[in-house]
Chains A and B, each alone.
Chain A
């Protein structure tokens, strides 16, 4: 719509006009801007239960929102110093490129093209997701393979629409896409029966189904997950220091979970003798200094927001989604952190 259009134009204008920044303090223009502002501007979806959605008090809740908070805790020492900027699927990259947001935790899939062509890169994978289909139970569909000729509601500008096109091509089936920009309009079209299925990341579908409350059982999430959708934090290319911090913020959450360090018991670890725990707590090793932040950055993250598992349980497990491959590597999952040393 117009405002998005205007957004792209403004972004273009910003790209045209912004002079090359000449910061020198930390060697990272992004960190300098965040420190000067006293706030991290984090691009989120703002409309997806479980990932980022404001609660009744207007506080942004969700996996993406909490991961934004961990970055603020690492850089500024205060997890609350985050300004959440809701960006649409289509405006997100322009917003990041033009510097309207410092980074994205916006259920964005890591792809080659997005790193190769957009001037952006992925610092973390916080959710190993995949494209799924949600259908109404009344329709009696049990498998995506039965959906030849179906009409599918999907948001434009997402990797989902590409994934569906690929899936249908591979399986030699036909489908009619209904692409609606506005999420609530799109979901309305699915509700009214305009579409046979609603397709997006399985996590978002689970959140949507969960939000239906008593009526959740009227909907079926089909068993097929038709694509890999690794969702993570995206930053601008060329600012390696900031990239490092975002990446190690994510690793810190994993390391904490590995050692059983949680937001509740973290203070009991100040007397630990385990060298990695001591480095983690900022008691020795100058790990934070190496990244250009406070030595207690990992402590701040876990104390204020929680470890990776806590963030997961708080936002995703509560929706009834099994952790599966999103568990730690030593519990059958894919999350693995290099040693902090």
Chain B
């Protein structure tokens, strides 16, 4: 039995090999030429700028390089989350403190602005006339004022607080003065770390129990009570650990000594004014994004949910918000980026964020190009991180079409 020869017409053939013709009429060749030209000129321009800059710098006897990062900084920094001594530590550490300060104000600012903005956005859609008009006024007024004025305004406000000697003392242990907010702080001991750890373990346990409960519910339709386990692991367990480790509990209250309060925790006027300004300003934009997101959900969805007997709160949580988020997240990313970059206005009111410290470094060392490059690098890293996270989140909540 001779094998039936395959009909040559059906034989699998490779795609016809396209040879690139050295002719302008060949689109492949044309494309190649353009790409080479464009890439070549980009490389050429970059090379020209780089070599010309270094030649000019050398001609002008300006030192270059990143050696200055290891030099002793000498620049005092008011607020440093990690230990810093100007006469000992380097410019590198000073700049790092700047990065931490920027991150600190940005992260807290983003969280607070999101909460405030969402509340105002929802309030604007409220059926309560006063509430919705108040929210509208907030949005319209706040958005119309430049951020710098916001910062000056809040910085001016906190400066009208009394001097430390006459500090306001609304509750024991809390002092409000033009040097900032001073509050009593818990004297941290190992027992507290243990308690915190126990609480974290409790969180994991509760999550586990809750997951089991969901499984049981899916299988039997009856959800076993979770709260006894939650109570036990979140409250009783940490308290037990705290009690076993000696139950230490002492507050360190700020006391007035010399020029200012000593001891306790501090929230400086500069940080406070910057944070309040950024949050209030950005919340105005976020409110509009949230409102538009909610309004983008067709009314039929709400009516359908109502027809199914869902309570209004549940409708908002289960029907409206998940769909609104898809509209909300992309513009929200821009607002988060804006807030982070706007925090560089801190220099105007004396909070030492990254730009402020980088500028001082620039001035003390004269390394303009290097420092500007560092500023760009830092903001690029922060912004890309925010973008990446938000894109991931956006993908996660994206509508899954079936």
Contact = CB atoms under 8 A, between A and B. Distances in A.
B198 interface: no
A8 B360 contact: no
A97 B152 contact: no
Nearest to A168: B76
Interface string A145-184: 0011111001011100110111001000001111111100
Contact of B355 (A5, A164, A169, A179): A5
Contact of B352 (A179, A186, A237): A179
Interface stretch (A114-122, A211-219, A280-288): A114-122
Given A119-B62, A148-B258, A93 B363 contact: yes
A24 interface: no
B75 A162 contact: yes
A181 B259 contact: no
A307 interface: no
B347 A181 contact: yes
B368 interface: yes
Interface string A1-21: 100110011011001111110
Contact of A192 (B59, B61, B148, B159): B159
A10 to B, nearest CB: 11
Interface stretch (B49-57, B105-113, B390-398): B49-57
A327 interface: no
A177 B78 contact: yes
Residue of B260, B270, B349, B360 ringed by the most chain A CB atoms within 10 A? B360
B141 to A, nearest CB: 23
B282 interface: no
Interface string A175-202: 1111111100110110011101000000
A94 interface: yes
Contact of B49 (A16, A89, A165, A238): A16
B163 A193 contact: yes
B56 A9 contact: no
Interface string B54-88: 01110111110000000000111110000000110
A14 B75 CA distance: 28
Nearest to B71: A113
B291 interface: no
Nearest to A182: B348
A151 B260 contact: yes
A175 B372 CA distance: 29
A89 B55 CA distance: 27
Interface residues of B, number: 54
A335 interface: no
Given A17-B52, A97-B368, A149-B258, A117 B63 contact: yes
B125 interface: no
Contacts of A304: none
A269 to B, nearest CB: 41
B366 interface: yes
Contact of B56 (A18, A117, A192): A18
A227 to B, nearest CB: 12
B258 A118 contact: no
A90 interface: yes
A236 interface: yes
Nearest to B77: A177
Residue of A11, A148, A179, A192 ringed by the most chain B CB atoms within 10 A? A179
Interface residues of A, number: 58
Interface in B354-392: 355-356, 359-360, 362-369, 372
A157 to B, nearest CB: 3
Contact of B87 (A20, A116, A147, A165): A165
A17 B52 CA distance: 7
Nearest to B88: A169
Contacts of A236: 60
Nearest to A159: B364
B255 to A, nearest CB: 12
Nearest to B164: A193
A175 B77 CA distance: 10
Contacts of A4: 359
Contacts of A178: 78, 270, 350
B257 interface: yes
A176 B266 CA distance: 13
A90 B366 contact: no
A8 B362 contact: yes
Contacts of B60: 15, 97, 119, 236-238
A97 B363 CA distance: 12
30 contacts: A1-B148, A1-B345, A1-B347, A4-B359, A15-B60, A16-B56, A20-B56, A93-B368, A113-B364, A116-B63, A117-B365, A117-B366, A118-B63, A119-B60, A147-B259, A149-B257, A151-B259, A156-B75, A156-B347, A156-B356, A156-B363, A162-B364, A165-B75, A166-B87, A176-B78, A178-B78, A181-B350, A185-B349, A186-B350, A193-B163
Which A-B residue pairs are the 8 nearest by beta carbons?
A157-B363, A119-B62, A192-B159, A180-B350, A118-B366, A177-B76, A119-B60, A119-B61
Interface of B: 49, 52-53, 55-57, 59-63, 74-78, 86-87, 148, 152, 155-156, 159-160, 163, 178-179, 257-260, 262, 269-270, 344-345, 347-350, 352, 355-356, 359-360, 362-369, 372
Given A117-B367, A149-B262, 9 more contacts: A8-B372, A150-B258, A156-B75, A179-B76, A179-B78, A181-B359, A188-B156, A188-B159, A189-B350
